Structure 1
């Protein structure tokens, strides 16, 4: 692994967390509408989401940092980090589409695509640094759960 600085790690984590914060700011007060929707079984209280996402964004930042600092060929790192950014953009858009625009069907489409992108990212990361891939397992599980919740919300509303 090439020598990376702690500041690189902080930048990766902070940049990833910033995506979540910006999504939350754009979503704004629309999040309160979640409590008014009929929700499927196992739906967590709304206060759980910010905590889980903060943890997941930090883990995602660490995994991207590990790829960035790896000894892989530049082409492979660029490919992996490009997939990372693309899935992050889909992640960013989900809550805006769901809460701000009120499109549960649109959010479901985004969630399904996002899950596919994360699985692809996992595969690409694993070839470069298995630890970077495995760090994303909680993200995969949570996103699969988000697909279930979004589908359930669509059906019930």
Structure 2
């Protein structure tokens, strides 16, 4: 755990996060968080096509929100995070991401770095994509190719910062 994260966990009081309604302080904090996050990941992933940012209770919450609204069929790569498939059955698209048939008519849920093995990979796909970047902070820094039809990008702060179970993330 980094020194900054440890200091935050040790020193922050719940009362520090209470804001007077209408003061704009909560919005300022969200804008600061978003700007800090975008700056932190700018060498890893280009988020310039994603103008909106939402705080979530981790990637799990982001998956809930996505699948709650999703009315299209979706697919996933072998070895992906199992949770989406537990709440809404998708179709396995391949036997490993190197030998793949991706249905262009289904949304592809994929993680990069891969939940299957932690590796970064580039995959050319011609379908809508939901990109899960949960493991970005727990691997080495590499550039992620964002597929052209990517609709959402998920981030988790729990894995790489030693905050597992804290349910912290962004969409």
Of structures 1 and 2, the larger Rg is shown by 2
Q: Return the TM-score normalized by structure 1.
A: 0.26
Q: Greater strand share, 1 or 2?
A: 2
